[in-house]
Structure 1
Amino acid sequence: MKVTADDVVRTARSWLGTPYHHQGRLKGVGVDCAGLLVGVAQELGLSDFDVMGYTMRPDGESLRRHCDMQMKSITREELAAGDVLLFTFDAHPGHLGILSTPEHLIHAYLPRRKVVEHGMDAWWWAQAAGFYRFPGVH
């Protein structure tokens, strides 16, 4: 099956409203930012990779290594809807989201206590530290 960026966005949007739950992996029940990516990739048959046992403040370099191993690193100029952003908070990579449009993000966001979609303002762009594409997305 050919998976498109539209498929990634549509699948990610199907998780909107799912409550935030650290290390959660169940749509509608509970998920964190990594779990959202894992769930979307698994639903689309892109990957069965998962990692558990991380803390609320994951080792940022470990998170970056997992992203580098499991997805294709791209430049900001290549970034498009359906791609993944790695965010740095407090100088450490520690959060993931899926771009739904060139200016909107879907992610499991602890302060909002659920999966949300919102605009990417200057603050969010300043936190973006890595850009990735799911393998097999055309």
Structure 2
Amino acid sequence: MITLQFSTTKGVGSQVIRWATWSPYSHVDLVLDDGRLLGATARYGVSIRDPEPIQTYARFQVSGSVETIEAARSQIGRPYDWPGILGWGFRRNWQDQNAWFCSELIAWAFEQAGCPLLRGDRSHRITPRDLLLSPALIPVS
């Protein structure tokens, strides 16, 4: 099982993402076995980081494999998808990008491992809310 952490902060960017996507969370990461987080952030791009203070979070387990983590790790060093902010509302193909939003990276990694979290017809944009609605998620208490 793989653990996903959905989170939000007090920052303006977090508030805008939550408002624009109708989501209680603005960010999602993979939780590694050592407790560090693997994901895409505006500050670091795709990276492994120690957890930072957050306002709210929820964790979910999902069936996945080591290939999911390896796919995400293969993207370390890629930048955050700043140009994608302009194209966020349009049907751009996020799978061909060299930069990532947090939710795009997570969805792509699971897809690469043969364990898609979403239906294929939603592939034009992926938000934390989209992932949160996946029936594959099991809440961690």
TM-score greater than 0.5 by the shorter chain:
no
Q: Greater share of strand residues, 1 or 2?
A: 1
TM-score where L is the length of structure 2:
0.36
